[in-house]
Amino acid sequence: MLRVCLKVRRRTESTRTFSPVPARVLVGRAAKLLALLTIPILSLALRLPAQEDLGPLEGEMAELFNRKMLSTYEGMPLPVVEKTLELAQVRPGERVYDLGSGDGRILIMAAQKFGAQGVGIELDPRLIRKSREAIQKQGLSHQVQIIEGDVLEQDLSAADVVTIYLTPYGLSKLEPHLKKFLHHGMRIVVCMNQLPGWTPTSSITALGADKRPYDLRLYVISRPGDWVSFSKFGHTP
């Protein structure tokens, strides 16, 4: 019986006829499929900024940079930059210091959107050049300045807000220097990591354009027993 059924099925399949699909229909289907495959790739390219090759450092500058650098550079996504400045409640006229200012994006937004004065400290001459060009292009040279030098050798006492995006190693090196310049009302926002031994006043998680989460920790400096008189700021022992 099984053999008979197989024979009948083969005869039925052999008698089927297939009408040819016009070439223009095949081309149309292929174009739609290609579009479906291409859209996610384009979207991903728009969400993820390309890492620019800044070129190598040479000679004495390379030696100095490798000896003093606290962290490799990774630009903070712009949505996270905005959340960083909002968390610190930056107000017009305040001085925002970005330690390891990279291409200047935090300072540019602080000036443009929050009306702040910006000071960046950067060791890499390639990023210094790039950030100064961007600042000049935006017409912010009167509002934002970039200091070329080692963060651990700079006076931070004029800062109202300090932003930091460094590795745990970099934070451990920076923390003793930072302590010298703390004053009542100063706000410090650290991205991804935390200052060793410090308790944050508050923390949030912000999403980059690629939906990657970035942990932001706010440290508000206040005198013992005194509260910083900002609505959202708590007490830091």
What pLDDT digit, counting tens, does each position of 203-214 carry? 999 999 889 999
Architecture per CATH, 59-220: 3-Layer(aba) Sandwich (3.40)
Q: Is the pLDDT of residue 94 over 80?
A: yes
Mean pLDDT, residues 15-23 taken together: 52
Give the separation between CA 227 and CA 36, rounded to whole angstroms: 56
CA distances in angstroms from 141 to 127, 131, 132, listed in the order given: 16, 11, 8
User: Average pLDDT of 102-123?
Assistant: 97
- Looking at 51-55, 61-65, 97-101, 124-128, which range is the least confident one? 61-65
**Separation between Cα atoms, residue 183 and residue 187, nearest integer Å:** 9
Which of 109, 57, 112, 115 is CA-nearest to residue 78? Answer: 109
pTM listed for this prediction: 0.70
Q: What would the DSSP string read from start to end of 3-41? A: HHHHHHHHHHHHT---PPPPHHHHHHHHHHHHHHHHHHH
* Average pLDDT taken over every residue of the chain: 77
Q: What is the mean pLDDT of residues 112-122?
A: 97
pLDDT category of residue 71 using cuts at 50, 70 and 90 = low
Distance of alpha carbon 202 from alpha carbon 233, whole angstroms: 8
Whose tokens are 């609505």? That residue is 231
Using CA atoms, how far apart are residues 237 and 232, in angstroms rounded to an integer? 16
pLDDT category of residue 74 using cuts at 50, 70 and 90: confident
pLDDT at 232: 42
In the prediction, which pLDDT does 69 show?
Answer: 54
Is the pLDDT score of 2 beyond 50? no
* Domain locations along the chain: 59-220
CA of residue 122 relative to chain centroid, distance: 16
- Averaged pLDDT for residues 188-203: 94
Q: Is the pLDDT score of 179 beyond 70?
A: yes
Could you give the angle at which helices 125-137 and 105-114 cross, rounded to 10 degrees? 20
**pLDDT band at residue 67, thresholds of 50, 70 and 90?**
very low
